[in-house]
Structure 1
Amino acid sequence: MWDIYQRDGRGVAVRSTWDRLTSSLSDPHEIFGGLVKYVNYASDPFPDDNWITPYMHKRKSFEHEKEARLMLIDPHGFNAVSFEGSRQLGFGEFDDGEPPATHSVSVELTMLVEAIYVAPGTPEWQSNLVQRLAGRYLKECTFEHSSLDDAPIF
């Protein structure tokens, strides 16, 4: 996936767990989440049993992402706000008629981040910079280079 989401050795990936993610969030709103289900919209049955279902599904062609998704409920008008962006996802009216541009959620990074990986081909200076920043702000996380830069075993 390095080739899809970064270019020329300039990517950084963060490893976490579901428990770490949910424990790191701090917000008065109720936050819902789970794993995205990947479906073929032309042939797979699509459940319509609750309002959150459409936001927890994606096309089968994205299955390699293995995405987890979080959403929160705005109790003022029962509006769903997606963490994927700032678009309003439905239900109810906002007080001023306009959806908020964003909703910030406090995240405890030291709790969230378990490890940081730098992409294969990352220049040494950039890797060193990321490692120094991680050491300063995320003392408990591990720092690793992608194993795709390792020499082959044969």
Structure 2
Amino acid sequence: MSFTPLRSVKATGALSVSHTGVRVSAITDHPCFNQPKNQEARLWRYMDFTKFVSLLSSESLFFCRADLFKDPFEGSYSKANVALRPHVYKDIPGEQLEKMTTQMADFSKWIRGWTYINCWHANEYESAAMWDLYAKTNEAVAIETNYLKLKDALPENVYLGLVNYIDYDSEWLPEGNSFYPFTHKRKSFEHEKEVRAVIQELPNAEKGIAVGKENQLFGSDVKVDLNSLIETVHISPTAPKWFAELVSNVASRYELSAPINQSMLYSEPVY
């Protein structure tokens, strides 16, 4: 089995343009990244006010290092992989297989620090659960877009696709490419309906990749055209009036053209 990471890529501060001058977009034809049937599927990103201001001021989407995510299983393989490898690779002598799997495990742990991820929630409707999970206070917003707009907003060194949810106790997680562990998560997270934008920026050495080198960055900022990306800004359904006015004023200051609406999720019911 060949376990070779993909080419080293780098997030730059400018929008990517091909040598012909044509704007290029995120990569969606890679075998590790499944695509939605509907290319205009609705996407949401829930955040507190501080992150919203950072988004506007930097004109960038923040890609967090995978090893800094809360989920300790991020970038790992399943228990089924460990159990099934002797059968899957039965033609490889035992001692050689043991050495190979040890090297693969070490590499997989290390590459988590050089993999950057930006997450979105795919849903046709606003999610009460996502407000509770990712907006810790009522001073929060959600930005709404669609899959195609996100793809077109991102540069060509970003890979984009759906997260696959599997049982890590019983299901095989594909091997042979360093992206696979980052396009799979445990079924316990299936409610997130996650779309992921991923960058792997591997440090170079004189002869190949500097395996073992530690990353000093927390993540990577990727420049995007916010007015092309964001369709609507939704304000938390429980936010006070003054906060809604603040969001509108800040968005105006940064010349964001998207409409700003307060969520009606908890409006008065009728009987």
Global fold match (TM > 0.5)? yes
Moved more, 61-70 or 121-130: 61-70
Deviation at 1:76, TM superposition (A): 5.8
Higher Cα radius of gyration: 2
Equivalent residue for 2:244?
A: 127
What is the SS of the residue equivalent to 2:261?
strand
1:67 to 2:185 alignment? no
TM-score by length of 1: 0.75
Look up the equivalent residue of 1:130 and give its one-letter code. V
Unpaired runs of at least 5, structure 2: 1-128
Look up the equivalent residue of 2:168 and give its one-letter code. Y
Equivalent residue for 1:138?
A: 256
What is the SS of the residue equivalent to 2:174?
coil
Equivalent residue for 2:172?
A: 45
Cα separation, 1, equivalents of 2:182 and 2:136: 29
1:114 to 2:114 alignment? no
Deviating 4+ runs (over 3 angstroms): 73-78
Look up the equivalent residue of 2:204 and give its one-letter code. G
Aligned length: 138
Cα separation, 2, equivalents of 1:99 and 1:123: 41
TM-score by length of 2: 0.45
Moved more, 65-74 or 98-107: 98-107
For residues 2-151 of structure 1, what are the structure 2 equivalents within 5 Å?
A: 2-26=131-155, 30-74=157-201, 77=204, 92-93=209-210, 97-101=213-217, 102-136=219-253, 137-139=255-257, 141-151=258-268
- Provide Cα deviations, 1:87-121, integer angstroms capped at 9, x if missing partner: xxxx9217xx4435143321111112111111121
Cα separation, 2, equivalents of 1:55 and 1:150: 38
Cα separation, 2, equivalents of 1:98 and 1:4: 30
Cα separation, 1, equivalents of 2:136 and 2:201: 37
- Provide Cα deviations, 1:17-59, integer angstroms capped at 9, x if missing partner: 1221122224xx6211211111221123322242211001111
What is the SS of the residue equivalent to 1:149?
coil
